[in-house]
């Protein structure tokens, strides 16, 4: 059965319904797209120049009945009174990060709290030692992925009729924060993207098929609209040629969602025009995939792709020809919110380990945490992480209400990544020499926390965005 879906302005309409959908960082199917509200700032979505107006209908295949039971959690339940946090003093030095997951944040809605508790429970089977071991052995975290898939969490934002839970980005952010905070970091939060095209493809929701996302190119970097990979029409489809870089999970992905140019740059009015999106088989001889050795998140492969004369069928094109960029544009705010939430998770995990260690480690006859030089930076980090958390969840709430402005999503991602980075660095210093030892895990957190500072958009580009779009300053690039 083929259905028509409209992206952009309808609640469930966009094929790539949000950044997570298109994201190379997320393991979950995110596709509900709420009604849009206007931003007070001009051109207010993402960093690019394209305007987020209406998108052409998209065809996609619905591939059969659900085989997994998606969690049914009603949204917008009344707020419960906060629970008393469990003190960390009583914890042992090597306690799992998952033991400290709390759901007492007074501002969580009942549905967010339910997600937090359910995900914490799943994550409690995956201690820090698991994450350290797969990082060491470069093994993909299949076990967590399957555990989430089995319980239907990969479809958290999908409409129920496609096997999803139909929750919002507010709940998805809680899910991603909780996974990262369990000690899983960016490794646990990074699996595969989901698109609306695959929203109806239950093998993906059930975790039986894998997909990756290809936008970044070696020669153009953050200047996405200048990307050079092309698709030219052939008799029965397209022929793709070009390169991509930093493509996460391409070693194991069955499919790729890829953005390429279908109309040369000099034949379109705006650079955002002339780009098209394809969702197609990846493991073909025409695509050469080479893993990039990297600093952290070793369990999740990241790759360069070189492809030439790669035949792709007409049905593999997603949406209208030349409209690809507009389709991904709508997902960008959600992507930033979710990555920001993951950064928060890492930051809180590091902070808890630091607080725990500084209570237990005695030097000069007292716990090191009794020294203000240790205590104050940690207190400062908690406040910064909490401030960022409020910004992230504010952005998520606005997104779920249909707000299209990018200032809160971008600022939230920026603040969360910076606060988390500082928190991870302080956690290492709090541990002294042991901070440098793998045994205490904080060095792994620090290696991973660079990712949300760099991707999917860098700190500098967010500052450019706020300077230009919010403050009305001249464009600097
Ligand atoms: C672990 C990891 C996984 C990734 N996974 C994927 C994936 O699956 N799919 C995918 O498509 N991409 C992926 N990426 C790519 C990621 O989105 C890019 O690395 C990121 O967007 C930055 O682009 P770049 O590396 O080309 O940096 P560049 O564009 O080369 O920029 C380099 C530096 O210059 C700065 N800079 C550039 N222009 C300006 C300016 N005008 N003003 C101020 N500063 C500027 C940038 O902020 C940055 O600090 C991944 C990256 C990493 C690290």
Q: Find the radius of gyration of the CA atoms of the chain.
A: 22
In 3D, which of 257, 252, 160, 146 has the Cα closest to residue 206? 146
Please name the residue that has the structure tokens 């479809």.
Answer: 155
Q: Give distance in angstroms: CA of 30 to centre of ligand 1.
A: 23
Report pLDDT for 155: 86
2-205 and 211-327: same fold? no
Provide long-range contacts, Cβ within 8 A and 24+ apart, for 234-240.
234/311, 236/313, 236/314, 237/311, 237/312, 237/313, 237/314, 237/316, 238/262, 238/278, 238/311, 238/312, 238/314, 238/316, 238/317, 239/309, 239/310, 239/311, 239/312, 240/278, 240/307, 240/310, 240/312
DSSP 452-476: HHHSSS-HHHHHHHIIIIIT-PPP-
What is the rounded distance in angstroms from the CA atom of residue 174 to the CA atom of residue 155? Answer: 14
Exposure letters 147-170 (e unless 16+ CB within 10 A, then b) = bbbebbbbbbbbbeebbbbbbbbb
Domain boundaries, the chain: 2-205, 211-327, 328-470
Query: Which ligand 1 atom sits closest to the C-alpha of 212?
Result: 8
Contact 204, 211 (CB under 8 A): yes
In 3D, which of 342, 388, 371 has the Cα closest to residue 430? 371
Q: Give distance in angstroms: CA of 206 to centre of ligand 1.
A: 31
Q: Give distance in angstroms: CA of 108 to centre of ligand 1.
A: 33
For ligand 1, mutation pick of 221, 229, 294, 295 (most atoms within 8 Å of CB) = 221
What is the rounded distance in angstroms from the CA atom of residue 381 to the CA atom of residue 353? Answer: 13
Q: Atom 25 of ligand 1 has which residue's CA nearest to it? A: 221
Q: Give distance in angstroms: CA of 368 to centre of ligand 1.
A: 39
In 3D, which of 307, 305, 304, 285 has the Cα closest to residue 238? 307
Contact 51, 72 (CB under 8 A): no
Which residues lie closer than 8 Å to 160 by C-beta, 6 or more apart?
70, 72, 166
Count of Cβ atoms closer than 10 Å to residue 53 Cβ: 10
Q: Is the dihedral of CA 436, 442, 445, 450 positive or negative?
A: negative
What is the rounded distance in angstroms from the CA atom of residue 216 to the CA atom of residue 239? Answer: 19
Contact 415, 51 (CB under 8 A): no
Cis ω before 456 (30° cut-off from 0): yes
Q: Give distance in angstroms: CA of 88 to centre of ligand 1.
A: 38
CATH of the domain spanning 328-470:
1.20.140.10
Q: Atom 18 of ligand 1 has which residue's CA nearest to it? A: 455
Report pLDDT for 420: 98
Which residues lie closer than 8 Å to 158 by C-beta, 6 or more apart?
29, 30, 31, 32, 70, 164, 165, 166, 194, 199, 205
Look up the CATH architecture of domain 211-327: Beta Barrel (2.40)
pLDDT per residue, tens digit, the chain (477 aa), is 332 222 332 222 233 333 334 444 454 544 433 344 444 443 333 334 333 333 333 333 434 344 456 677 655 444 443 343 444 444 444 445 555 555 567 788 999 989 998 998 899 899 999 999 999 999 999 999 999 989 989 889 888 877 788 899 999 999 999 999 999 999 998 754 344 444 445 566 666 778 899 999 999 999 999 999 999 999 999 999 999 999 999 999 999 999 999 999 999 999 999 999 999 999 999 999 999 999 999 999 999 999 999 999 999 999 999 999 998 887 899 999 999 999 999 999 999 999 999 999 999 999 999 999 999 999 999 999 999 999 999 999 999 999 999 999 999 999 999 999 999 999 999 999 999 999 999 999 999 999 999 999 999 999 999 999 999 999 999
Which residues lie closer than 8 Å to 235 by C-beta, 6 or more apart?
none
The three-state secondary structure class of 244 is strand
CATH of the domain spanning 2-205:
1.10.540.10
Q: Give distance in angstroms: CA of 303 to centre of ligand 1.
A: 14
Which residues lie closer than 8 Å to 273 by C-beta, 6 or more apart?
263, 322, 325
Q: Give distance in angstroms: CA of 321 to centre of ligand 1.
A: 26
Q: Atom 45 of ligand 1 has which residue's CA nearest to it? A: 460
Report pLDDT for 418: 98
Q: Atom 27 of ligand 1 has which residue's CA nearest to it? A: 221
Q: Give distance in angstroms: CA of 220 to centre of ligand 1.
A: 9
Element (H, E) at 407: helix 407-430
Query: Which ligand 1 atom sits closest to the C-alpha of 459?
Result: 47
For ligand 1, mutation pick of 194, 246, 295, 324 (most atoms within 8 Å of CB) = 246
In 3D, which of 403, 401, 396 has the Cα closest to residue 38? 403
Q: Atom 15 of ligand 1 has which residue's CA nearest to it? A: 246
What is the rounded distance in angstroms from the CA atom of residue 7 to the CA atom of residue 16? Answer: 8
In the chain, DSSP finds a helix count (H) and a strand count (E) of 14, 12
With a Cβ cut-off of 6 Å, ligand 1 is lined by 24, 212-216, 221-222, 246-248, 297, 302, 451, 454-458, 460-461, 464, 477
Query: Which ligand 1 atom sits closest to the C-alpha of 222?
Result: 29
């Amino acid at each position: 059965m083929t259905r028509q879906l409209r992206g952009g302005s309808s609640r469930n309409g966009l094929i790539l319904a949000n950044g997570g959908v298109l994201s190379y960082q997320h393991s979950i199917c995110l596709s509900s797209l709420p009604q849009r509200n206007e931003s007070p700032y001009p051109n207010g979505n993402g960093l690019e120049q394209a305007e987020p107006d209406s998108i052409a209908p998209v065809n996609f295949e619905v591939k059969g009945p659900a085989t997994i039971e998606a969690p049914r959690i009603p949204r917008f339940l009344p707020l419960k009174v906060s629970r008393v946090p469990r003190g960390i003093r009583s914890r042992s030095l090597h306690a799992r990060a998952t033991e400290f997951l709390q759901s007492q944040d007074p501002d969580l809605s009942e549905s967010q709290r339910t997600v937090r508790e359910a995900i914490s429970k799943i994550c409690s089977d995956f201690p820090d030692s698991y994450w350290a071991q797969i990082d060491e052995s470069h093994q993909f975290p299949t076990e967590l992925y399957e555990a989430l898939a089995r319980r239907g969490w990969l479809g958290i934002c999908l409409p129920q009729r496609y096997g999803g839970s139909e929750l919002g980005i507010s709940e998805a952010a809680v899910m991603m924060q909780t996974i990262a905070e369990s000690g899983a970091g960016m490794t646990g939060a990074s699996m595969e993207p989901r698109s609306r095209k695959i929203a109806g493809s239950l093998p993906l929701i059930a975790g039986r098929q894998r997909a990756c996302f290809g936008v970044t190119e070696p020669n153009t970097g953050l200047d996405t609209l200048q990307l050079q990979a092309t698709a030219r029409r052939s008799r029965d489809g397209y022929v793709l040629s070009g390169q991509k870089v930093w493509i996460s999970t391409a070693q194991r992905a069955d499919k790729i969602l890829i953005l390429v140019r279908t109309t040369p740059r000099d034949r379109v009015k705006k650079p955002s025009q002339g780009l098209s999106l394809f969702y197609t088989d990846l493991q073909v001889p025409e695509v050469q995939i080479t893993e990039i050795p990297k600093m952290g998140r070793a369990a999740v492969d990241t790759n360069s792709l070189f492809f030439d004369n790669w035949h792709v069928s007409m049905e593999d094109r997603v949406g209208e020809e030349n409209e690809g960029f507009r389709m991904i544009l709508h997902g960008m705010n959600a992507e930033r919110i979710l990555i920001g939430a993951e950064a928060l998770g890492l930051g809180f995990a590091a902070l808890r380990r630091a607080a725990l260690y500084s209570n237990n480690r005695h030097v000069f006859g007292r716990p090191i945490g009794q020294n203000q030089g240790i205590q104050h930076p940690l207190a400062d980090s908690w406040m910064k992480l909490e401030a960022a958390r409020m910004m992230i969840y504010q952005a998520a709430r606005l997104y779920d209400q249909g707000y299209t402005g990018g200032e809160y999503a971008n600022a939230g991602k920026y603040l969360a990544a910076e606060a988390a980075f500082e928190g991870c660095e302080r956690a290492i210093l709090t541990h002294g020499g042991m901070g440098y030892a793998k045994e205490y895990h904080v060095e792994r957190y620090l290696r991973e926390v660079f990712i949300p500072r760099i991707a999917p958009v860098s700190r500098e580009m967010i500052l450019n965005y706020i300077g230009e779009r919010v403050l009305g300053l001249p464009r600097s690039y």
